[in-house]
Amino acid sequence: MTRSLKALQLKAKHQVYTLLSGNNLSKLYGEGYDFAELREYQIGDDIRKINWTISAKLGKPYIKELHSNRELSIVVATLMDGSVYFGKENKKQNKITEIASILGYATQQNSDLFTGISFTPEKIFSSPPTKHIYHIEQFSTALFEASLLHTKLNYQQSIQTLFQRVHKPSLLFVISDFLEAIDLSLLSQKHDVIAIIVRDEKEEFPSKQDEVVLKNPTNHAELNTYFSKKNIKNYQMQLKIHDEKQKEHFARYDIRFIKVLTQEEPIEKLLHLFR
């Protein structure tokens, strides 16, 4: 284990045992998780339980009724390929590892079952459903050490495989940079899905530069170009259009999401979810 990985794990563990104390993952479920039935909304019901997709189809508000469930199944799935290999110091891959570690330690602290599944073009790494830190840190290590440069992941095939592997209804975190459209509708049929978008700040806000050589991290292609104000504006417009479509998809299937930039502390965004 490298020093940087150990430092990352220690930081994540410290944040969970201090900042997340009293803000555990079970709060994301409300009173329970196992699906029981849909019923018409009644005055006094929690509006957060409304299933907006079904309500829109039926023309009146309906809510999800859930069975009480003491032990939760928490699944953290990462989708990574060469697009994660951006900029210096591999910050996106490190940030994905940090977020997954925080979720793993939080699950263990709450005595729930944690499963980690990492999808890369070369292999699928999966930890068994566990309450032990050893397996959580094995998963963290696999994420940190994954070789991603010049690789391309089939995202929809990975989603199909994930659906087939996770049988028990779970709180399912999907972590990726979402620079390609990813359809999570299949997963939302069975699970409570939360998408975590990880981006580098320079992907969102590139700076003006003279002639540069861009190297595609998913293959060996190179492009000689420059970043003028006009080029940057066009790029950001296309990225905004892409992200808006992804957000519409999330809203359509009741998928919550957060975005974490590499220079941000993910614990702050996660705390907002847990509260």
pLDDT in tens, 24-63: 565 565 444 455 566 787 776 777 778 888 788 788 888 7
Residue with token string 């284990």: 1
> Which pLDDT belongs to residue 68?
47
* Residue-averaged pLDDT of the chain: 87
CA pseudo-torsion sign 219, 225, 229, 233: negative
Q: How many CA atoms lie within 13 A of 140 on its CB side?
A: 28
pLDDT interval class at 65 (50, 70, 90): low
In 3D space, the residue among 111, 116, 123 whose CA is nearest the CA of residue 24 turns out to be 111
Judge whether 107 and 25 are in contact, CB under 8 Å.
Answer: yes
The answer to whether residue 242 scores a pLDDT higher than 70 is: yes
Residue 56 makes CB contacts below 8 A (sequence gap 6+) with none
Q: What is the DSSP string of 150-217?
A: T----HHHHHHHHHHH--S--EEEEEE---S----HHHHTTSEEEEEEEE-HHHHSPPPEEEEEEE-T
Amino acid at 6: K
Quickly count: other Cβ atoms within 10 Å of residue 69's Cβ. Answer: 15
pLDDT digits (tens, 9 = 90+) for 146-204: 999 999 999 999 999 999 999 989 999 999 999 999 999 999 999 999 999 999 998 98
Domains and CATH numbers, the chain: 3-26+71-274 (3.40.50), 35-66 (no CATH)
pTM: 0.83
What is the rounded distance in angstroms from the CA atom of residue 171 to the CA atom of residue 148? 27
Average pLDDT over residues 228-243: 91
Residue 173 makes CB contacts below 8 A (sequence gap 6+) with 74, 75, 76, 77, 103, 194, 195, 196
Average pLDDT over residues 111-119: 95
pLDDT interval class at 104 (50, 70, 90): very high
> Which pLDDT belongs to residue 171?
94
Q: What is the DSSP string of 68-100?
A: --SS-EEEEEEE-SGGG--SGGGHHHHHHHHHH
pLDDT digits (tens, 9 = 90+) for 131-158: 999 999 999 999 999 999 999 999 999 9
pLDDT digits (tens, 9 = 90+) for 71-102: 789 999 999 999 998 877 889 999 999 999 99
Which of the pair, 241 or 204, is modelled with greater confidence? 241
